[in-house]
Amino acid sequence: MVGYEFDMEFGMELKMKKISFHKNHKSIRASIISLVLMTVIPFLVIALYETVLLDQLHVQYDRNVQNITSVNKYNTAFENNMNSCMYYIIVETYDWSEIKDQESNNNPYYLIDDMRQHFNELRQTTNNANIINDIDSVQRVLNNLEKKVDKIMANIKEGNHYDDNIEILRTDINEMTGFIQNDIENYIYLEACDMEKMREDISAQMQRTLILLLIFIACAAIETLIVSRTIVGKITDPISDLCQKTHQFADGDFSVRIDTPSNVDEIRTLSVSFNQMVTQISDLVEDVCTEQKNLRNLELKLFQAQITPHFLYNTLDAIMWLIEAGENEQAESMLSSLSNFFRTSLSKGRDWITVREEESHIRSYLEIQQFRYRDILRYEINIPEDMKQFYLMKLMLQPIVENALYHGIKNKRSLGHIIVNGKHENGEMIFTVTDDGIGMTEEELDHMRKLISGEVTNGESDSGGFGISNVEQRIQLNYGEKYGIHVSSTYGKGTCVTLNIPEVDDPEKIHDSVENRSSVRINK
């Protein structure tokens, strides 16, 4: 582009020299050259500057996306793989002599070296002090983790150290992998914050650029008006057209183009330059819009572990339809329900919420769905006020409610009801989600129970959040085997899902209880 500018300026200088002997044409061509210098060059300079700037931001953006994507594969996977493989090595499920040279998830040294190398590479890609500190923290924990693995391997070689190895796994390795997990989540958060700041920088830069462009456009318009008064015939009309198109461009119409007259070199040069400028500015604006859309898509991907994409998309579409139909009050109500749904789904990163918050979450979900399925969906929520202060794992009831809607009510293809009841007795909370939908056959019910129990894993199609089987797994993991989900169903009549969990009034007690159960499972 710079070379093009120099060539264009050099050509104009030659033309000016050639016409210096034609005094009657000097003022016209000098005015046109002045107009070109006043409009084209500043636009091209700004366009070049913006192109370089946006290219740098694009590279940085791609780097952030790549880093987040690459690190995300270690999120939870490293912790689970490390704890599992060490446990199996300790209990001699794995033969260390067979796997010690393998590059697989069964080899703890491979897991550590792989993560260490990856985070060393990540450290070279950032200048953010907080991110660097977070990466250094991961490396320190990995070094300590490797020492604990060395200790276990030494004990295994000596023999008769089973209890010591289990204790190291329970107290040291589990804790270190938890630290690494927290550092990974913090790294992803910091990278996302950098991307948000990048978006703000792009927006501010574009505002400044547009202001400059408007100033130059105004100057070009004034100069065009002055020059046009001295130009007659076939030159006046193209200049007037240029002024009109320039004003259109200043008003935000980036589709404007000038028809280049083939018989006037100066006007043709100006028109070509203007069209190139408009194309470049249009591309820059489009690039910024694309970057902003990509940023929003990334933000949504950071939430996809908790929010079903189809549900979100359908809800937003419904809100748009309501707005287009002039149903602003309904759109506002639906948007409020969606906001409440997000608020509970995210819950500031908390895993444990009150029954009151869970009730608000499923109520918001059902309110949204009732907008979409107003002809076939009715619901009722009955939870006593005195049990709403207790705590439970987040997203326990919403997947069950979603399953009742999509696999019960929708398949019925007529008016259906979903009733959510809650009660507490003898230190337990019991929730039931009942629907009068299509129900399940004996074969389908048997398959569902096997999915919930973990006997089968193929063919699961739960559409509700984490899925009913996942809810069962979380209950077993955090509450114990005496709690869980029970499903009863009659084809053509409906389905009832019962969930029982203990009453918990203090999240800290929950944390201690989970740690004790984890210890018991490991010792077993």
Same domain, 299 and 313: no
Same domain, 429 and 375: yes
- Is residue 194 included in any domain, yes or no? no
Same domain, 41 and 157: no
For residue 522, the model assigns a pLDDT of 35
What residues contact 63, with CB distance under 8 A and at least 6 apart? 125
Instruction: Show the domain range for 168.
Output: 73-187
Same domain, 393 and 503: yes
**What percentage of the chain exceeds 70 in pLDDT?**
73
Which of the listed residues 187, 213, 247 is the one where a domain comes to its end? 187
Same domain, 318 and 464: yes
Greatest pairwise CA separation for the chain in angstroms? 108
Running DSSP on this structure, what letter comes out for residue 436?
A: -
> Considering just the CA atoms, what is the radius of gyration of the chain in Å?
33
Contact by Cβ (8 Å): 8, 269: yes
Same domain, 219 and 182: no
Running DSSP on this structure, what letter comes out for residue 229?
A: T
Digit-coded pLDDT (tens) for 245-264:
787 877 777 777 777 655 56
The number of distinct structural domains making up the chain is: 3
What residues contact 158, with CB distance under 8 A and at least 6 apart? none
Q: Among the listed ranges 120-134, 396-410, 438-452, 490-504, which one has the minimum average pLDDT value?
A: 120-134
Which of the listed residues 134, 163, 187 is the one where a domain comes to its end? 187
Same domain, 398 and 463: yes
- Is residue 192 included in any domain, yes or no? no
Same domain, 117 and 88: yes
Same domain, 159 and 81: yes
Q: What is the 3-state secondary structure (H, E, C) of 489-515?
A: EECCCEEEEEEEEECCCCHHHHHHHHH
The pTM (predicted TM-score) of the whole model is 0.40
Residue 207, both tokens: 């505002």
Q: Tell me the CATH number at 483.
A: 3.30.565.10
Same domain, 38 and 153: no
Which of the listed residues 254, 277, 303 is the one where a domain comes to its end? 303
Q: Tell me the CATH number at 82.
A: 1.20.1440
| Range among 7-16, 22-31, 139-148 with highest mean pLDDT value | 139-148
- Is residue 195 included in any domain, yes or no? no
Digit-coded pLDDT (tens) for 174-222:
888 888 888 888 888 887 787 777 777 777 777 777 787 777 777 767 7
Contact by Cβ (8 Å): 507, 352: yes
